Amino acid sequence: MQMVVTRTLCDACLTLPVAVAATPPHPELHLCSEYIPIKGENFEAKFKCRACDTIWLHRKNKWGACEGFRLNP
């Protein structure tokens, strides 16, 4: 059976909920940038996965609450 792989995500990244608030980073994710202001008074920082090198963007709102992870576009 042949699998079509469009992105090479590790299992931990595959199971990370996308854009779900209050999602903690999985154990292989580490912060690799500062939190910088983005539009809408939110802040965003890059996390990189040590297992598969995927870059995730983590968003916080102006109160510092987690707004979830998104894949780097």
User: What is the binding site for Zn ion (CB under 5 A)?
Assistant: 10, 13, 49, 51-52, 54
Identify whether the C-beta of residue 59 lies closer than 8 Å to the C-beta of residue 43. Answer: yes
**From the CB of 8, what's the least distance to Zn ion, in Å?**
9
Q: Which is nearer to Zn ion, 42 or 55 (CB)?
A: 55
Nearer to Zn ion, 8 or 41 (CB): 8
CA distance readout (Å), 52 to 1, 13, 40, 73? 24, 8, 30, 16
d(CA 36, CA 5): 32
For residues 32 and 16, what is the distance between their CA atoms, to the nearest angstrom?
A: 18
Pick 13 or 58: Cβ nearer Zn ion = 13
Q: From the CB of 19, what's the least distance to Zn ion, in Å?
A: 17
* Least distance between Zn ion and beta carbon 59 (Å): 18
